[in-house]
Every structure is written in structure tokens, then in C-alpha cells.
Amino acid sequence: MTAIAMQMFGADVLKVRKRRGTMIWVLVLALLPVIILFAAKAIQHSSSPAKYEPAGGTAGFTDGVRLLCLFFGPLAAILIGVEAGTGDVAAGVFRDLVVTGRSRLGLFASRVPAALAVCWSVIIVGYGLVLLGTFAFASNLQTPDVSLVLNGLGFALLATGVVCTVAVGFASLTTSKPAAITALIGWQLVASPLIANISSLGTARDAVLSQALVHFSPVHVGDRGASVTMSQGTALLVVVLWLALFLALGAWRTRTMDT
């Protein structure tokens, strides 16, 4: 990375992380559900140990990973990606950056790693909470080995990173923060599960991003996460196509828009 690219990356990170309202929601979405999950399970276990298993262990880890990587983590990733994709245009600063002579593609390109850096910082903290709950509340249960812990981390970064990158591209395309957030969260929470459960659509459902991402999970996701089965190769292809499509659209719009 050149010095200028590093500086631009730092500047884009600054813009996102200093956006207090967005960051509060991101932290709430990424951390609070994990805390609530383990706290609730720990309370249940302490109130009735015979009826409820300890909150931690491999089962707690699986629940935590599923919650962080497939439900709330992607929502946090969407908020960060949209902020990175629309921040300059929404503030009217984009044209001031363009008149520096820096290429528009360069300006677009620095948004993606910056969004990922912020997103992954939060997700790593969230994953740390999952591990804390997993081991602290394991009691006599089996705990995940190092390999599973590392695979879980990789999956958390992959699942949220892909969504975050798609959000940067989509937000750069729309240039409207409310529109991008509404569309992406609507897609993630409503449209994706709905489409995935319409069995008459057959293999067309393979194109749903969240369904493809589930196939990289190191833990059993169960019916609540995956309704569609596909090979890992197909899943990888779907993920790559989503990334390529939305990065290309975001870059095209950033390069061609009148400011």
C-alpha cells in the first residue's frame, strides 16, 4: 500500500468511526445480542440447572456464532458499509475530494478497506464476547478446540465482511443513506429468508447471498439459517459474484456521477 493509500484509508476510517450515532447502533447490534444470549442462558441455567444446560460450551459457541455472524453482525456491517459508501456524498464533501485531482476510483477504493477495518474491529470484539461466554459459562461441557475457534473467527469475518463490502458498493450506487439502509436491511431480514423458503424457485435460490454464506459456517447452523443446499464451489461463486457486481456498480456510479 502506498503512503497516500494508507492516509486515505486512515481518513475513511476516521469518517466512519467518528460517526457517533451509527457507531452506537453498530455496537448495540453486534455486541448486545451476544451479551443478552449468554446472560439469559446463564440465568436459566442457574435458576434450573437440571432443566437448562450451562450457557457456554460448544452449544453456546454455536448459538453465539450463529447470532453474531448470520443475524446481527451483518446488520452492523450494513450500517458501516452504508456510512462509508454515502458519507462523503451526503455531507457534500465528495466534490471537494474530487477537485483535489485524486481519481474517483481511488476515492471509492479506499472506502472498502476502511469499512472492513471498522466492521471487523467491532465483529472481533463481538466474537471475543462469544468466546468469553463460551468458556466462562462452559462448566463441565466440552469447549471448542483452537481449530474451531479460528474457523469461527474466519467465518465471522467472511460473513460480515462480504455484507459490508456489498453495502459499500450498493450505498455508493444509490448515494442515499436512508434508501440504502432500508433496502439492504429489508433484503437481509425479510426478502432473503422469504426467497430461500420458496421451494418452487429451486436452484434460483442459490443466488441469495446469506444462503451462500451459511455454507462456510464451521458450526451447524440448522434450519433457522440455511434453507438451501449447494456445493461450496457454488457458494463461493455466488459470494464472488455479489462482491463483483456491487463493487462494479458502486465504482461506476462514483466515477460517472455529477457532483
Partner 1 sequence: MPASGDDSSAPDPPIGGPAIETSGLTKRFGERTAVDGVDLLVPRGSAFGFLGPNGAGKTTTIRMLLGLTHASAGSMKMLGHPVPAERARTLQRVGAIVEEPRFHPYLTGLENLRIVAAVRGPQAADRIVPALARVGLSERAGEKVKNYSQGMRQRLGVARCLLADPLLLILDEPTNGLDPGGIQEFREMIRAMVEQEGRTVFLSSHLLDEVEKICDAAAIVDRGKIVTQGPIAELAEGGARNELILGVDDAELALSALGASELVREARPSDEGVRVVLTGDLNTAAQVNALLVGAGVGVTRLEPVRHSLEQRFLQITSRLDAADRPDEVPA
Q: Which residue has the cell 438451501?
A: 228
Residue 21 vs 202, nearer CB to partner 1: 21
* 156 contacts 127 by C-beta, under 8 angstroms: yes
Residues that bind partner 1 (CB under 8 A): 2-4, 7-8, 10-11, 14-15, 18-20, 87, 91-93, 95-104, 106-107, 258-259
* 70 contacts 159 by C-beta, under 8 angstroms: yes
Name the minimum Å distance from CB 142 to partner 1: 47
Residue 18 vs 51, nearer CB to partner 1: 18
Name the minimum Å distance from CB 2 to partner 1: 7
Residue 14 vs 28, nearer CB to partner 1: 14
N- to C-terminal Cα distance for the chain? 28
Instruction: Report the candidate in 145, 192, 205 with the shortest Cα–Cα distance to residue 166.
Output: 192
C-alpha cell at 114: 476502511
Instruction: Give the chain's radius of gyration (CA, Å).
Output: 19
Name the minimum Å distance from CB 86 to partner 1: 12
Name the minimum Å distance from CB 39 to partner 1: 32
Residue 6 vs 32, nearer CB to partner 1: 6
Q: Which residue has the cell 472481533?
A: 124
Residue 98 vs 243, nearer CB to partner 1: 98
* 154 contacts 71 by C-beta, under 8 angstroms: no
Calculate the CA 52 to chain-centre distance. Answer: 31
Instruction: List alpha helices for the chain, DSSP H.
Output: 3-17, 20-47, 57-66, 73-91, 94-98, 104-136, 146-174, 177-186, 192-196, 209-214, 232-256
CA atoms within 13 A on the CB side of 180: 29
Residue 107 vs 212, nearer CB to partner 1: 107
Name the minimum Å distance from CB 116 to partner 1: 18
C-alpha cell at 198: 420458496
Residue 35 vs 91, nearer CB to partner 1: 91
Non-local CB neighbours of 108 within 8 Å, separated by 6+ positions: 172, 250, 251, 254, 255
Name the minimum Å distance from CB 11 to partner 1: 4
Name the minimum Å distance from CB 108 to partner 1: 11
